[in-house]
Structure 1
Amino acid sequence: MKNIITFICISLFCILSLSAQIRKGSRDKIKMLKISYLTDRLKLTPDEAQKFWPVYNIHDKKKHELKFKLRSEIKKAIKENENINAVSENDAERLISLKLTTEKKIYELHENFITKIKKILSYKKIIQLELAEMEFGRKLLNRYRHKKGN
């Protein structure tokens, strides 16, 4: 019996570890696809790319962290209350306030990002970047939906 429990625990640990590696691998793959897509769409010169990507990666990481924190807080509130309908009005108000604060921070982060990259890229390329990011997101979502459908 002890051996069976040990085997189950080890198997569960291996499955969870493998699952985490697959998710991380997927994120890394998406990041590489995004870098390739944006570099191609913006037609970055080697000099532009060398200066642009470190700034972009820092911006993207900070934006992701802000959004992740917000999503985590919302999920936590829903989980603690078992569903969205059971969330108190005070908690809902706190979450809306957090959402607005997060959106302000993201806006300020984006303003700062634009200030930095306008020294690297032309305004035209900055607009192309905005459009290419939206296109990439749509294509990624369509690809995901297509895979889910099969």
Structure 2
Amino acid sequence: MKKLIAFISICFFCILSFSAQEKKGGKEKIIALKISYLTEQLNLTPAEAQKFWPIYNAYSEEQHDLRNKQRNELKKALKNSDEIEALNESDAEKLITLKLTIDKKLYESQKDFINDVKQVISYKKIIKLHVAEMEFGRKLMSKYRHKKN
């Protein structure tokens, strides 16, 4: 039960942080920075970039939509942290099942993306992409924390 509470608390924090970013209208700026950063890190040729970005953008949008669905469902079920204690086991199980279902869709989406993008860029660049996405997220959060202080 403690793990469930911790998991739900983390998800709730993520919901708040992402909604705060969107409210400030910086979403487009962040996307532009991400595209620039990934292009630089992957060192894409013009031919690769022309084929890569439509595939990546569709994948990114699908991942974003699935994560939003997951957050929204959790947010709808738990309007505040007091409701976690009020959950019965059946409702908690439904939430976990929903989370696992969406996690599976996220995995399938990632698998499909790799199958599509491997026709355009090498496996080595796919790994570089994954690392660059993580680095971008870390740098973005670091910049956000620095601005906040």
State the TM-score, normalized to the length of structure 1.
0.80
Q: Distance in 1 between matches of 2:36 and 2:86?
A: 44
Other-structure match for 1:137: 137
How many angstroms does 1:50 deviate by?
0.8
Other-structure match for 1:33: 33
Confirm whether residue 54 of structure 1 aligns to residue 57 of structure 2: no
Partner SS state of residue 119, structure 2: coil
Partner SS state of residue 56, structure 1: helix
Whether the 8 Å CA contact 1:48–1:120 is kept in 2: the answer is yes
Partner SS state of residue 44, structure 1: coil
Q: Distance in 2 between matches of 1:86 and 1:29?
A: 40
What RMSD, in angstroms, separates the aligned Cα atoms of the two structures? Answer: 1.8
Q: 1:12-91 to 2 correspondence within 5 Å?
A: 23=23, 25-79=25-79, 83-91=83-91
How many angstroms does 1:26 deviate by?
0.5
Give the gaps of 5 or more residues in structure 2.
Answer: 1-19
Other-structure match for 1:108: 108
Q: Distance in 1 between matches of 2:48 and 2:56?
A: 12
How many angstroms does 1:80 deviate by?
7.7
Other-structure match for 1:127: 127
How many angstroms does 1:108 deviate by?
0.7
Whether the 8 Å CA contact 1:81–1:87 is kept in 2: the answer is no
Partner SS state of residue 95, structure 2: helix
State the TM-score, normalized to the length of structure 2.
0.81
Whether the 8 Å CA contact 1:78–1:84 is kept in 2: the answer is yes
The alignment of Structure 1 onto Structure 2 pairs a total of residues equal to 129
Work out the percentage of aligned pairs sharing the same amino acid. 57
How many angstroms does 1:95 deviate by?
0.8
Other-structure match for 1:14: none
Q: Which runs of 4+ in 1 moved over 4 A?
A: none
Give the gaps of 5 or more residues in structure 1.
Answer: 1-19
Give 1 or 2 for the bigger CA radius of gyration.
1
